[in-house]
Structure 1
Amino acid sequence: MKAIVFRLKSALLRFFLITLAVVLPTLAHAQSSGDSQSVKALTSNPSGALVVLRDRGLFAIDGDTSTEIPLPTPDAGAQPTSLAKGADGSIYLAGPGLGVWRYNSANNSWQALNNTLPDLGVTAMATHATQAGTLYAYLGEDGMFRSRDGGAEWVKVDGGPREPVQAFLHSDMPGSMESGWLFAGTTRGVARSMDCFCFWGDAGDLRGTVSAISYDPAAPENVYAVVEGQLHHSTDGGETWANVKAPGTVTALTFSPVHGFVTAVEGGNLFAHGDGGEWTPVYE
């Protein structure tokens, strides 16, 4: 009897070990695949295709087609984190250790725009809403830099908001003494300044770390911000904010001429927001 029980226990143990050997790699692959799908930034190209920066690379999504865009090959340790589209449709990529790069779609190549930056520690960048050659880059303790010639020459224009900037945009919302407004997502909330860099102040009382920020080019008073995964919307240029129910924990935002307002959620899925408030999946 003891021998039978021993053989049964041995058989069960072998079955358990074989099951683990089969299941664990599958689970590990699923986890790894999910992580690699995470979206860090969004924009769109001149044709309206979404440009998606994932942990596993950069992709252009046009209808059911997803095309990988090879990333630039800078120094090891560089972290692409920001995407922006210029007024002329140019696509820019930036991040710590990477600096700022512009994509040339004619020959599928990248051009570094870092010659006059003090270092490559760019944590956020933005493009001017209407001036194709005007770019903005935030370099932490080095402050805020602007280029008026497409990145050939950068000049420090401001120290930036009091808190570190995580996300950044330029808007042609009316009311500025110059050409528009700058909105910065910081570790405290949303900061706002006219683009004359006259003064940084709070945009409303939204509090928390802002990881993504965007606005509607057709109605610039409509600004969207993500605070710790939650989506918030302002209809008055950041004076007041309201929570918006999203289809998941939000990681990135953009406005597309084809899809309208698009969000990326945890896990990598993309959703477009309809006029009726519904969320529609954007398929790859």
Structure 2
Amino acid sequence: MKTMVNHPGILLSVFFLLMLAVAMPAAAQAQPADHSRQVKALATNASGALLVLRNGGLFALEGQAVTEVPLPPAASGAEPRSLARGADNRIYLAGPGLGVWRYDSASEHWQSLNDTLTEAGITAIAAHATQPNTLYAYHEKDGMFRSRDAGVEWVKVDSGPREPVQAFLHSDMPGSMESGWLFAGTTRGVARSMDCFCFWGDAGELRGAVSAIAYDPEAPENVYAVIEGQLHHSPDGGETWAGVDVAGVVTALTFSPTQGLVLGTGNGDLLARDASGQWASVHE
């Protein structure tokens, strides 16, 4: 009578082959991540089209039509990362090594606004909610700059929050001593100041590095911020915050006049709430 030997090495080999047989079909179907599609920033233009800044370029999406918008020549080797639409619907683009540029829709060309601005350290731009010629730019070393003549001349107005600013906006939310509020997404959370630059303080107790921030122009007390890919909402101008469930990593925000809050994600999706309140793709 032969004795059966339970050999550990043989059992492990059989187990490995079985696992390999299961994994190979899934591996064959898996596609490498397309990092060029990641959404870095969002805005809308005068016609309501979505402007989507990806690692692979800038695109205008209207309905199912996609039009590439060539970036400024200076964007080669730079890091475009911030979009803003002015009160007169003009579009601004900014980022480290790029500074601030304005798009002329008539000529379809970009104009540099860096004559009095050190472009190397600009990390974010914001446009005043109601004043067409007032812009704000944040320089990672020198602080907050403002232009009252659409970027012809920039003047430092403030050192900014204590922590570096990664995204910010101007809001016409009521209650300011001047013409509105600045909300800054910093590496610590959301900071807030009246646009008289009287004082930067914490907007609530939301903590973490904020990569995107937006507000509802129709209801300015509604502010949204993204921390480490997670969407958060404040219904009271930044006093309190709550997380919002979204499938995937959120990387960019904007408000569309037709679709409301639009999210950009790390895998390139664009999402908005449908009639049932669920997040759905706004462009296939």
Q: TM-score range by the shorter chain?
A: 0.7 to 0.9
What is the CA distance between 1:220 and its match in structure 2? 0.1
Partner residue in 2 for 1:84: 84
Pairwise CA distance, 1:119 = 3.8
Within a 5 Å distance, the mapping from 1:273-284 to structure 2 comes to 273-274=273-274, 276-284=276-284
Q: 1-side partners of 2:212 and 2:61: how far apart?
A: 20
Contact kept in structure 2, 1:215 and 1:255, CA below 8 Å: yes
CA distance in 2, matches of 1:272, 1:279: 5
Letter in 2 for 1:92: Y
Partner of residue 178, structure 1 = 178
CA distance 1:185–1:75, change in 2 (3 Å): closer
What's the secondary structure of 2:141's corresponding residue? Answer: helix
Q: Cα offset for 1:275?
A: 6.5
Instruction: Tell me if structure 2 keeps the 8 A contact 1:79–1:97.
Output: yes
What is the SS of the residue equivalent to 2:132?
Answer: coil
1:31 maps to which residue? 32
Q: Any idea what SS the aligned residue of 1:253 has?
A: strand
* Cα drift, residue 258 of structure 1: 1.8
Question: Residue in 2 aligned with 1:135?
Answer: 135
- What aligned pairs does 1:26-105 form with structure 2 within 5 A after superposition? 30-31=31-32, 34-74=34-74, 76-105=76-105
- Structure 1: runs of 5 or more not aligned: 1-19
Show the counterpart of 2:166. 166
Aligned to 2:233: 233
Q: Which 4+ residue blocks in structure 1 deviate beyond 6 angstroms? A: none
> What letter matches 1:125 in structure 2?
I
Could you say what secondary structure the match of 2:32 adopts? helix
Aligned residue for 1:123, secondary structure, equals: strand
1:59 and 1:69 in contact (8 A); partners too? yes
Contact persistence 2:99–2:118 (CA under 8 A): no
1:211-230 matches, within 5 Å, as 211-230=211-230
The amino acid of 1:51's aligned partner reads L
Deviation per CA, 1:47-73: give whole Å up to 9, x if none: 000000000000000000010000001
Instruction: Give the gaps of 5 or more residues in structure 2.
Output: 1-23
- Give the aligned partner of residue 120 of structure 2: 120
Offset at residue 76 of structure 1 (A) = 4.4
Secondary structure of 1:130 counterpart: coil
SS of match in other structure, 1:141: coil
What is the letter of the counterpart of residue 151 of structure 1?
Answer: G
TM-score by length of 1: 0.88
Structure-2 change in CA distance of 1:174 and 1:105 (3 Å): same
Instruction: State the AA in 1 paired with 2:117.
Output: L
Q: Indicate the SS of the match to 2:205.
A: strand
| Structure-2 separation of matches of 1:31 and 1:220 | 40
Q: Tell me the residue number matched to 1:6.
A: none
Residues 143-196 of structure 1: per-residue CA shift (max 9 Å, x gap): 100000000000000000000000010000000000000000000000000000
Distance 1:76 1:53 in 2: 14
2:32 counterpart letter in structure 1: Q
Counterpart in 2 of 1:194? Answer: 194
Counterpart AA for 1:31: P
Amino acid at match of 2:212: A
What residue is the counterpart of 1:5 in the other structure?
Answer: none
CA–CA distance in 1 between the matches of 2:203 and 2:243? 15
Contact 1:204 1:241 in 2 (8 A): yes
Task: Judge conservation of contact 1:247–1:265 (CA < 8 Å) in 2.
Answer: no
Q: Does the Cα contact within 8 Å between 1:114 and 1:120 map onto a contact in 2?
A: no
**Contact map agreement 2:253 2:262 (CA 8 A) in 1:** yes
Contact 1:172 1:181 in 2 (8 A): yes
Report the counterpart of residue 266 of structure 1 in structure 2: 266
Distance 2:47 2:208 in 1: 35
Q: 1:277: how far off?
A: 2.9
Q: What's the CA shift string for 1:62-114, capped at 9, x where partnerless?
A: 00001000000116421100000000100100000000000011111000000
